[in-house]
Amino acid sequence: MSMNLWKKIIAYLISIPARIKGVKFGQNSYIGPWYDLDPKMRGIVLGDNVMIGRRAWLDIPLKSGGKIILGSGTQIGRNAVISAIKKIEIGKKCLLSYNVSLIDHDHRFVRDISPMDSGLTEGREIIIGENCFIGAHSFILKGVKLGKNCVVGAGSVVCESYPDYSVIAGNPAKLIKILE
């Protein structure tokens, strides 16, 4: 057997728990080892040729009906966190570096009640256009829409939307320039 065939077999075996929990895998899509998935993951759809690095956490809180949709050719680095109560959609051929978090909701805070018992907010969709690059250690927060071909600098906290070809960076992220 060739080395490529062995790699495909191992990748498929690693993905079996995710497949049992309802993740839909496109052709040649893989998730790295030691990923963390909640019990029912029927809202997760990976397009063709999607690669997710090890120790990823794909989360759809129970009873939320959330969706996580990753476009074909997208690659996500190690230790990613993607948590959706509503919907997180990442376009085709995007590259998310390591330690990137996309979270479409917040913890609810109520006076004199533990955050563990207060629940989560309703949430707002996150939409990332095709061909985007998200730098390491970045956060994309609820309600953000990034147009196609956007670049997010490392360590950014993105809490508002930006149009096609935007280069953004900082905490909070600000528009640096529009690509020509």
Determine the Cα–Cα distance for residues 84 and 103; give it in Å rounded to an integer.
Answer: 6
Strands 173-178 and 166-170: antiparallel
So which residues are the catalytic ones?
A: 107
What burial class does residue 136 get, using C-beta atoms within 10 Å of its C-beta: 0-12 exposed, 13-18 middle, 19+ buried? middle
Determine the Cα–Cα distance for residues 50 and 47; give it in Å rounded to an integer.
Answer: 6
Tokens 């906290």 sit at which residue? 157
Q: Are 151 and 166 contacting, i.e. CB atoms less than 8 angstroms apart?
A: yes
